[in-house]
């Protein structure tokens, strides 16, 4: 597959790119860096995620788009602003599949979160500033689109080696409250090539 990646220079995105290349996919990735580090096989598209022209160039000819985009320096409107631009870019390019990273603090209609996670989500929504709100608005944009989106609701991300095991569910809380970034990256790569959790926001955690 040809997979377009956003957030490819981030902590999760770098692992995602490595994983996609390892699986033999052609990877095209957006970057703001003049000289980004990454596997030689990656084709870099220069630009900001808020630039519609850069997004069009990125997704042109892609089979799937995967985002590990995340806010830098308190950017509390990144996701709500980029999501509609991405929806437009995907529709214009005729690309249907989008997989992104959301947060476990986001609530979705039909959720059956545990009491523990309901409390944590309520606290995050109240005290977490713009970030949780931003991801909720991002989800609403994708939900209003007719595309094949999946937003993976991740808990606390941790570094370290992959375990190779991810617990996931459409709306039930996983047992653990963290996930290694490497396992999240592998799960995102799985979803890029599979029609699982279409138009859903699964909760995930490491095992």
Binding site residues, ligand NAP, CB under 6 A: 7-13, 30, 32-33, 48-50, 68-70, 72, 78, 101, 103, 154, 156-157, 181
Min CB(24)–ligand NAP separation in Å: 23
3-class DSSP state of 181: helix
Q: Which is nearer to ligand NAP, 7 or 202 (CB)?
A: 7
Our CB check for ligand NAP shows the closer of 74 and 146 to be: 74
Q: From CA 110, how far away is CA 202, in angstroms rounded? A: 11
CB-side neighbour CA atoms (13 Å) of 54 = 15
CB of 94 to ligand NAP, least distance (A): 23
Find the shortest distance in angstroms from Cβ 70 to ligand NAP: 3
Nearest approach in angstroms of CB 106 to ligand NAP is 9
Instruction: Using CB positions, name the residue nearest to ligand NAP.
Output: 10
The answer for residues whose C-beta is within 8 angstroms of residue 13's C-beta and 6 or more apart is 5, 6, 7, 29, 68, 69
Q: Tell me whether residue 14 or residue 25 sits nearer to ligand NAP (CB atom).
A: 14
Cβ-based nearer residue to ligand NAP, 34 or 146: 34
Q: Strand pairing of 2-6 and 166-169?
A: unpaired
Number of residues assigned to the chain: 207
Please give the Cα distance from 148 to 66 (Å, whole number).
Answer: 12
| Residue carrying structure tokens 């799960």 | 187
């Amino acid at each position: 597959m040809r997979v377009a990646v956003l957030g490819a220079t981030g902590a999760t995105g770098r692992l995602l790119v490595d994983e996609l290349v390892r699986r033999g996919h052609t990877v095209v990735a957006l970057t703001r860096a003049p000289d980004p580090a990454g596997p030689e096989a990656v084709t870099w598209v220069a630009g900001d995620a808020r630039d519609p022209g850069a997004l069009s160039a990125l997704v042109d000819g892609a089979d799937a788009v995967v985002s590990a985009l995340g806010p830098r320096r308190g950017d509390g409107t990144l996701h709500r602003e980029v999501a509609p631009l991405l929806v437009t870019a995907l529709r214009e390019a005729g690309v249907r599949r989008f997989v992104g990273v959301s947060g476990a603090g986001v609530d979705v209609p039909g959720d059956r979160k545990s009491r523990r996670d309901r409390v944590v989500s309520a606290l995050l929504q109240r005290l977490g500033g713009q970030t949780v709100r931003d991801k909720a608005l991002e989800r609403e944009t994708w939900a209003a689109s007719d595309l094949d989106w999946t937003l993976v609701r991740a808990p606390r991300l941790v570094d370290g080696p992959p375990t190779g095991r991810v617990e996931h569910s459409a709306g039930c809380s996983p047992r653990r409250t963290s996930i290694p970034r490497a396992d999240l990256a592998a799960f995102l790569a799985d979803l890029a090539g599979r029609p699982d959790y279409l138009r859903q926001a699964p909760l995930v955690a490491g095992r």
